Amino acid sequence: MDSLKEMYLSAGIDQDVYDFCDRIQKGLKDRFEKIDQTAEYNQMKVIRAMEKQRVSAECFESSTGYGYDDLGREKLEAVYADVFGTEAALVRPQITCGTHALTLALSAILRPGDELLTPVGKPYDTLEGVIGIKDDNPPGSLKEFGISYRQVDLLEDGEFDLEGIKEALNEKTKLVTIQRSKGYAPRKTLSVERIGKLIAYIKSIKPDVICMVDNCYGEFVETIEPTQVGADLCVGSLIKNPGGGLAPIGGYVVGKEKIIELCANRLTAPGLGKEVGATLGANRAFFQGFFLAPTVTAGALKGAIFAANVYETLGFVTVPNKTESRHDIIQAVTLGSAEAVIAFCQGIQAASPVDSHVAPEPYAMPGYHSDVIMAAGAFIQGSSIELSADGPIEPPYAVYFQGGLTWYHARYGITMSLQYMKNANLVTIP
């Protein structure tokens, strides 16, 4: 018996589970090769940007207090701008998470009387309270500031509702927000190419409207980013793809110079802008994480494809399905029952390098509609570029699975999730 298999068996994986997953994995060679090609291209893109900006050891020094003249911060922002093909970037530890980065951009750009439009359906759960479209909005929503909101859903077949978008665009529309990843919605993730076409259409109707992309989970999945196909700005979290698993906190906004200035003035203060903001020792992790991000994203992508193939072969509905092209690292698997969602997540947790001895349970989370179970044995708390899974405990009982700093860990985690499903008599292994 080969020694890897022995290792798996010693970890509590049954022979039939191992063999089944191993067969699935052996069938994915060609797809994995393509992912490696994308990763290599993106790796070059990042290294070339770091070379161009003459990144040096001084960039890893730390600033405190006001954080004036932080060389590393300035170079890091130049590197991000270069990689995303934008005029400027704001990459800061003061941006707490993705929702904060998006809120920052929205409240930096929008003014009372302006309207925000989403042409791709409902945005990510945590943004509902930010925009003010919940039944019980938290204080401080955009709505409270007199900013209105309009939403055009995708058509039944997943295509853009071009007529609806045309009707929705009006003299008040200042900003259009396009969410690349599906988040918790059942729709497909948008490819960068489709985002480009949508932006071109919107600008053909209203040339001066600002187009923003929520780029969460999409960075480095393709060889181009939305800012290279017409987006005025892209926004994301550093504890997802671009942090490469090393960034301990942070978010980014990349885009036109004027827009980044608005965001900086909102993050700090009008007039202070980008000039302040201590980095508190995070610079090296930001650089090194960005350097690793293309290969980390590739590992996560392989894990997602592996999961789709394992679970679809067993008869579960997967989004994306096992053969379709990928535009983010999220994998949804509809498991059909609360027990299966719990077993899946507990399996992922049990295969983690951190906190493998604890069993996650569903609980109420701020910003979410129902109880959610979250598996995360991560080095950085809440990091979802690390192997993690979460499942809202509500029909259709789907888990959303993402991350994996290495493909090997993703493989182990998914194999363990299946083992837990088997242990709970929720699947039969063929």
Ligand X SMILES: *Cc1c(COP(=O)(O)O)cnc(C)c1O
179 binds ligand X (CB under 6 A): yes
Element (H, E) at 203: helix 192-205
Near ligand X by CB under 6 A: residue from 53, 99, 173, 241: 99
**Amino acid, res. 84:** F
419 binds ligand X (CB under 6 A): no
Site for ligand X in 100-139 (CB under 6 A): 124, 126
Select from 82-90, 95-103, 132-140, 295-303 the region that touches ligand X (CB under 6 A). 95-103
286 binds ligand X (CB under 6 A): no
Site for ligand X in 204-223 (CB under 6 A): 214, 216-217
Our CB check for ligand X shows the closer of 366 and 430 to be 366
**If you write DSSP's letter for every residue of 161-173 in order, what string do you get?**
-HHHHHHH--TTE
Binding mask 181-200 for ligand X (x = CB under 6 A): x-x-----------------
Our CB check for ligand X shows the closer of 214 and 222 to be 214
256 within 8 A of 86, measured Cβ to Cβ: yes
Backbone conformation region of residue 409, classed left if phi is above 0, alpha if psi is from -120 to 50, else beta: alpha
210 within 8 A of 109, measured Cβ to Cβ: yes
130-162: b or e for each residue (b if 16 or more CB lie within 10 Å)? bbbbeeebeeebbbeeebbbbbbebeeeeebbe
Select from 128-136, 176-184, 290-298, 413-421 the region that touches ligand X (CB under 6 A). 176-184
The residue number whose beta carbon is nearest to ligand X equals: 98
Q: Indicate the length of the chain as a whole number.
A: 430
Our CB check for ligand X shows the closer of 122 and 143 to be 122
97 binds ligand X (CB under 6 A): yes
Cα separations (Å) of 300 from 181, 270, 288, 368, 405?
15, 39, 18, 24, 7
Select from 60-68, 97-105, 241-249, 349-357 the region that touches ligand X (CB under 6 A). 97-105
Near ligand X by CB under 6 A: residue from 237, 268, 279, 295: 237
287 within 8 A of 50, measured Cβ to Cβ: yes
Which residues are at the interface with ligand X (CB under 6 A)?
Answer: 97-99, 124, 126, 179, 181, 183, 214, 216-217, 237
